[in-house]
Amino acid sequence: MRPHISKEDISIFDLIAAVLFWGLTIAWIVMIFYFSSESGDMSSDRSLSVLQFIELMFGKGFMTEEVLRKLAHILEFAVLTALAFMSVRYTNRISIARSYAESPVKLIKSDNEMYIVITLWISMLTAVIDEYHQLFVDGRSGSIIDVLVDSIGVIIVLLIVRIIFTIYLKYIGSKEIRYE
């Protein structure tokens, strides 16, 4: 039997933050799929425009189109990962009575690890579906290499999150709550 949750048990701030971050996360995923829906020619034209701007700022030969496209993959999935992490984190904090800490079954050893695992799942699933989607777009192709490049952005952000969390706990003189 689940405990009754009253209005006092719900954090309005965390609820608003969760809704905001989920909205941003979904909007970012839609943007990723929008760009993936462009034909190969449109995508190449966009890359060349950005490359020309970079060459104007830093000079010719600073970057190639291929490097620019890979960096774009890394950046778009780094942003997705940061947004998804915050969405999951605030969702778990809406109600203490319904949070992972109160779950009777603990497959993951801490809240932060749970946020990381769910965020990893969301980000990598989006990367795989995005590349699959590109198989059906004129002039585009799905690529396992691009999924691996996307995962670089995902892993970088999750490592940064983990490091910041560890430093924060050390700063406040606390240890991570581990479930046994």
Among residues 73, 80, 85, the alpha carbon closest in space to that of 117 is found at 85
Q: Reduced to 3 states, what is the DSSP secondary structure of residue 1?
A: coil
Identify the residue with better confidence: 178 or 113.
113
Domain residue extents for the chain? 7-172
Q: Would the pLDDT of 142 be above 80?
A: yes
Q: What integer best gives the mean pLDDT of the chain?
A: 88
Q: What is the pTM of this model?
A: 0.86
Question: In the numeric block, which tokens belong to residue 61?
Answer: 């030969």
Average pLDDT over residues 99-123: 78
Average pLDDT over residues 98-114: 67
Question: What confidence score (pLDDT) does residue 1 get?
Answer: 46
Identify the residue with better confidence: 21 or 115.
21
